[in-house]
Amino acid sequence: MDLHSRYPAVSDLRDAARKRIPHFVWEYLDSATGDERTAMRNRTALDQILFKTSILHGEFKPDLTTTFLGRGFPLPFGIAPVGMSGLIWPGAEQMLATAAQDLGIPYAMSTVATQTPEDVAPHLGEHAWYQMYPPRDEAIRDDMISRARAAGFNALILTVDVPVASRRERQTRGGLTQPPKLTPRLAMQAAQCPTWLNGIRQTGMPRMKTLDKYSDFKGQLPSTEHIGYLLRTSPDWDYLRRLREAWTGPLIIKGVTQADDAARLQDEGVDALWVSNHAGRQFDGAQGAIDTLKQVRNATTLPVVFDSGVEGGLDILRALALGADFVMLGRAWHYALGAIGAEGPAHLADLLRKDMEANMGQLGTKTLPELAHRLL
């Protein structure tokens, strides 16, 4: 099967995945919060970033290589952390880690993945990042850091844009609970997706396995709250300082939504900023993330990562032109898994690469740093 003929765009992968993933899981993956206006603004703001095309520049092969945090990469994009990844597609964490290793790009694993750092360790490449939702208890935090380091993760991501749980009304209507349970209604949906269901039978019903080790701490929580609430704290600047002392490797702050925070974060000794509005999944009154990127880039000399609303190679070029040093995608990799399975991530990476090369050919830009000069 010629994958490029069948799935020539991310939208084709999305359409195919929707048919193979149960509805209640799809609503978890594809939803935002509120009326999903922030998600819409992400798309609208990206579409407003335009370029000047070029003529008579001759033939050339665009160079997509880049450096980030002192490391070289063949492509300027990677795999963002997505919670409960193995619920979306069984075995997703290992598949994505393996794909990232093969591609030479970063794989970022979520604290609330369905696998543990130890489970994923054999599949990690040299660019493994661990995303942390900040635990309340310092003992949990320190142990989690030690586990990530021992597993082979070499950069730590602190997510700071989840001070409280978001509502995600579409997800609630879909019927997903934590931990997930197959009610008769959801079981009927799962039965309509036999490949997904067979995979779940092999992996077991997904849960936040990393937190199993800390079950003794659950007594700290009200009886109505699941173990994931051990992570539900809103970190402050003192928390960041303690984390900076505890983690000796690169520290990336994810969820930067205001340029005003950039200078202070730089002063606190973080290594990179990650501009993101959680793809509209946390707050429905935010500006488009690409607009935030422009403001943050002007406020700091630190490397900057970007996500939120990226749907293809042109969007990656837009972010890079506006000052991002690296771009991360989350949903798209899961669309690829849902559509094709284990071969999906490699196809997506090739699709994005070809899209970037075609657009750079139109722009006459041989290297990524030239993109800024072609902005309209």
DSSP class of 62: -
10-residue block means of pLDDT along the chain (376 residues)?
A: 92 98 96 96 98 97 98 98 97 98 98 97 98 92 97 97 85 86 92 97 92 78 60 87 96 96 96 96 95 97 98 98 98 98 98 98 98 98
Two structure tokens written together for 188:
């009927």
pTM for the complete prediction? 0.95
**Is 278 part of the annotated catalytic residue set?**
yes
**Cα 206 to Cα 138: distance, rounded to the nearest angstrom:** 26
pLDDT score recorded for residue 227: 64
Catalytic residue among 23, 123, 127, 278: 278
Two structure tokens written together for 155:
């950069």
Tell me the residue ranges of DSSP E strands in 154-297: 155-159, 251-256, 272-275
pLDDT score recorded for residue 229: 67
pLDDT score recorded for residue 220: 63
Beta-strand pair 66-68/71-73: antiparallel
pLDDT score recorded for residue 282: 93
Phi-psi region of 75 (alpha: psi -120 to 50; beta: other; left: phi over 0): beta
pLDDT score recorded for residue 224: 47
Q: What is the pLDDT of residues 194-233, one digit of tens each?
A: 999 999 999 999 999 999 999 876 666 555 455 666 776 7
pLDDT score recorded for residue 225: 59
- 3-class secondary-structure state, position 132: strand
